[in-house]
Structure formats: structure tokens, C-alpha cells
Amino acid sequence: MNHPVQPFPADRAARYRAAGHWRGETFPALLRRVADEDGDRIAVVGGTTRWSYAEMAARAHRTAAGLLAMGLHPGDRVLVQMPNIPETLQVVWALFAAGLLPVYALPAHRRTEVAHFLTRSDARAYVIPDRADGFDYRPLARDLRANLSGLEHVIVVGEAEEFIALDALNGDPATLPADPDPQSVAFLQISGGSTGLSKLIPRTHDDYIYSLRESARICGLTPDSRYLAALPVAHNFTMSSPGWLGAQYAGATVVLAPRPAPDVCFRLIRDEGVTIAALVPPLAMLWIDAARIMKPDLSSLAVLQVGGAKFPSEAAKRVRPALGCEVQQVFGMAEGLVNYTRLGDPDDIVTGTQGRPISPDDEVMITDDAGHPVPDGTPGNLLTRGPYTINAYHNDAAANARSFTADGFYRTGDIVVRGPGGYLTVQGRATDHINRAGEKISAEEIEDHLLAHPAVFDAVVVSVPDPALGERSCAFVQPRGEAPKPTAIRRWMAEREIAAFKIPDEIRFVDGFATTAVGKISRKELRARLRASIEELS
């Protein structure tokens, strides 16, 4: 079996410890600490449920012991595909307490992605809700368990049918294992997937908890803060920047929104006294527009964080007038590096940049395509290395060869400019993915699906600017003979059981793709030309 490892070179690890970044904290110890220090405070609110830290921890500890009693062993991986409900936090903390490694899938993922995550991570168990957002996860789990030999256990929150109900996992916390090595891998997060299927990102206790602690500090969280999780809790932004984990690190209250819609969230902000919320740009713009009409009481809201995709500065300027709160831009990635504009920064920084790194030990290198550093003020490729950025993906030699330099810098694929004070402005990206309202879609992955269609001879997928989504996906399809109807292609893709957000927003048929005298041009260049052709037309 392939155990996740996160090899920080010894010299850098020693430096991060000496600097006090890595303090040997682990998730199981963190849960005990918050239960101890903040026991009576409300840890999480969701629907009609409110759990204190003591209650959340007690539940997590009993579940953890139940998971081990079922035959799982510390170090085993467990795929978690859960919506924004308190039980999700219970499950994640339980996995940590049991020394099991959560692997996170988004609720929108379907069979294709889930099977990939299960296989890549060698997960032995899969945690799902019975139903969420109109989708029944049990038939999916049934199918996967019948077809993937490594998947032994399915745990269901709600009506379990033949599976194990979360509530039935009730063990003796005295049986829980000793705390893990702080430098060991705590969980696997999923990558945005710029080439092919998502890669798995191994994060350690030491590195992630450092980013949580600093994120909570930078975002001004105290035990009196109330963090609204409006985006899916499995997303790295919602989890860690500062996210619900950062909020709980600080002993604050996490308020879970079932959906990010303005009516739902405005009500929660008012009723629960939410102080900080995090959104992707299209939702922030939706909230701004809705607030004009709905005139909600958002007086408790001090900070709106916006990240996951570029927030246009004109939109950033509208946040305070419309919502009455400060805006904080967040430019992060599940692989590590997170940048924040700081609370109280001047307006031009807050509206015009995507922030600066968390850590003085985040090494930021901006290069031209030949790999030579460019001066500040000049756009270039962002590479980074530091105390909470991974050094390798889990079990993926090809991706590692592509994504990391010999001395351990991660190639983010983003094109940025560094300005005064180390603030970064995102200019674009070098990789071919579509950032659709913060959801990253690999062009290559979608092209591969399209090429499997019998009536498709060739296909090229590109991103197109979109007023509502930031970017939408457009598939150029060269048919084999008569072109099928776009709706037929879309339906066919949905039947391939992929996340709905990956189905092309637009399908255009072409007679063929450009070739040059020396043969076929690269797909990268082809995508660039097709993108340009759309921009010319619009």
C-alpha cells in the first residue's frame, strides 16, 4: 500500500521549527485543547443543531473509537463527501482523533471523480450523506463498493439502508491511539486539477496547523468571532483560510450555510451575528446586487473574504458601500501558499491586489518562461516553496516531475506581478484550466471525455470570460460526419457521471483545427488561438 508522505527536506524542517512556525501541534491534540479551553462555547451551528466544543469533541471521540472498532487502522484513508452540516465536522474531527486520514471530495463530484479519489488514495471507507441537494449518494456508494475491491465500508449520515449509520459508530474513547507524529500526513486534499484528473495533496499536521494559526491571526479571529461557511466545507478556502478549521483553532463559532444564496446567508448573518464570511467572486457580486434590493441587516459582518478566482477591482470597491464591511482578498491554493490583503490595508492594496503571503518564510519566485527571475512589476510565472506548501503530490510521479522544480519549488501555473510590500496581483495563468466561479476544470480532462463520444473527431476546451461566472467553459468540437446536437452531447457527458460544473457551458462546432506547415500545432497554442478568436468576436 502506498502511504502518503510529505518529505520536507531536513534543513527546511529544522528552520521552520526553529522559527516557531511548526510547533508540534496535531489535530487530535487541537481537538482536545479546544474542548478543554472553549468547552462551553458554541463550536458549530447548522440547521437546528448547535454543538458546544465539548459536545462536538465528545461526539467526535466516540465516532473515532467506533471507526477503529470497525476494523480501520490509524493511517488508513477515508473518503469524505459531505455537505455543510455539523456531522461533517464531527466526522472530520473523528477521523483525526482516530489517526485516520480524511480525503476530501466535493458534494458535486460524481462516480468518475469519486472512483478516482478512492483508487488513488487506497481509501478503505467512504462517508456520505443519505441525500443532499436532491442527490441520493447511496446508489453511488453501492455501485462503488461492488466494483472497487479496496472500498470496504460505507458510512452514512442519515438513513443508512444496508450501510453503517454514523450514529451507530459509538466506541470507547479510551481506545484511541496516541497522537501522530506532527510531521506525518494528516489528510489528503484535492487539487484544482489543471491537467487531467485531480491530484491528491498530502498535508501534514505541522504545516496545515501553522497556516490555520496564522490565518486566524491575520483575519482577526477571536473566540467571539462567527465564521460563515457558505462555500462547501471541503474546499480548501472554506477549510483553512481561515475557514472552519481556522475558526475552530481560535475557539470561534462556525455557522454552516446549506447554500451560498444571498437570502439564506443574509438571514444567517443577522440571526447568528456572523462576523466574517468567505465567497468566490461571482457570489460576492451576487450578494452585492441582492443587498441593494433586499437591504438586509448585515451590521455584525466585519469582513467579507473573496478568493478562489480573480476579484475585479471595480467589484472589490463596491463591497463596503453595498455590504458595509471590509473586503479581504484571498489568493490561495490547496497545495499551500495563501496570500491575504491585511485588515486595514489601504484601499488601493485591498481592491487592486490579491494580497501577500502568510509567512515570512514563504519563498516567492517569479520567472519568465525560461525560468529566470523577473523584476518586481513584471508579470511572470509564480513558483513557491515554504513552511506549508507541499513538496510533492501523493503517488503521482508524472505530475510531480511537471509541477515541482529540482529544488522543491511548486509551479503554481499562475501568472502574477509582485508590487511594493510583496503584494501579488494575479494576471492570468499559464495552465489550461477553466476557473468557473472558483471551481477549477481541467481542459484536458473534459477533452478526454468529449473524445470518447462516437460522433466527436476532435475537441478543444477553452475558458471564455463570463460576466456571471468569471469564466465559463467552451468546447470546440470537430464532429465525425454530421454534428450532434449540443444538448445531446451535454446529456451524454452527464451520463458519464462527472460533476455537473464540468459539463461545457457552450459547445461550438468547427470543420477542423488549425495546423501549421510543420504539422499540428500544440494543444496549448490551439487553445490560445481559439480563446483569442472568441474574444475578437465578443
- Residues found near ligand J2J in the complex (CB under 6 A): 192, 236-237, 240-241, 307-310, 329-334, 338, 354, 412, 414, 426, 429, 435, 438, 440
Minimum separation from the CB atom of position 212 to ligand J2J (A): 10
How many angstroms separate the Cα of 85 from the Cα of each of 52, 144, 294, 315, 418?
15, 24, 26, 30, 39
Q: Give all strands (DSSP E) within 349-409, no chain letters.
A: 356-357, 363-367, 380-385
Minimum separation from the CB atom of position 337 to ligand J2J (A): 8
State how beta strands 303-307 and 276-279 pair: parallel
Minimum separation from the CB atom of position 465 to ligand J2J (A): 14
Element housing 269 (H / E): helix 262-272
Q: Which is nearer to ligand J2J, 144 or 366 (CB)?
A: 366
State how beta strands 77-80 and 125-129 pair: parallel
The whole-angstrom separation of Cα 105 and Cα 66 is: 22
Minimum separation from the CB atom of position 438 to ligand J2J (A): 6
C-alpha cell at 230: 457558505
Q: Which is nearer to ligand J2J, 22 or 331 (CB)?
A: 331
CA neighbor of 284 nearest in space, from 269, 262, 253, 299: 262
- 288 by Cβ neighbours in 10 Å (0-12 / 13-18 / 19+) ranks as middle
Please give the distance of CA 156 from its chain centroid, rounded to a whole number.
23
Q: Which residue is nearest to ligand J2J (CB)?
A: 332
How many angstroms separate the Cα of 29 from the Cα of each of 23, 33, 53, 180, 205?
12, 6, 14, 9, 10
The whole-angstrom separation of Cα 440 and Cα 236 is: 13
The whole-angstrom separation of Cα 331 and Cα 352 is: 13
Minimum separation from the CB atom of position 146 to ligand J2J (A): 31
What residues contact residue 37 under an 8 Å CB cut-off, 6+ apart? 251
Minimum separation from the CB atom of position 365 to ligand J2J (A): 15
Minimum separation from the CB atom of position 136 to ligand J2J (A): 27
Q: Which is nearer to ligand J2J, 107 or 308 (CB)?
A: 308
Q: Which is nearer to ligand J2J, 225 or 412 (CB)?
A: 412
Q: Which is nearer to ligand J2J, 86 or 308 (CB)?
A: 308
What counts of helices (H) and strands (E) characterise the chain?
A: 17, 29
Q: Is 290 helix (H, G, I), strand (E, B) or coil?
A: helix
Q: Which is nearer to ligand J2J, 45 or 333 (CB)?
A: 333
Minimum separation from the CB atom of position 307 to ligand J2J (A): 4
Q: Which is nearer to ligand J2J, 144 or 221 (CB)?
A: 221
C-alpha cell at 57: 469533541
Q: How many CB atoms lie within 10 A of CB 236?
A: 24
Q: Is the dihedral of CA 179, 181, 182, 188 positive or negative?
A: negative
Please give the distance of CA 76 from its chain centroid, rounded to a whole number.
22
CA distance from start to end of the chain: 52
Q: Which is nearer to ligand J2J, 188 or 489 (CB)?
A: 188
C-alpha cell at 345: 490595508
Q: Which is nearer to ligand J2J, 8 or 388 (CB)?
A: 388
Minimum separation from the CB atom of position 278 to ligand J2J (A): 8
Minimum separation from the CB atom of position 466 to ligand J2J (A): 15
Q: Which is nearer to ligand J2J, 183 or 238 (CB)?
A: 238
Q: Which is nearer to ligand J2J, 64 or 284 (CB)?
A: 284
Minimum separation from the CB atom of position 111 to ligand J2J (A): 21
C-alpha cell at 462: 477553452
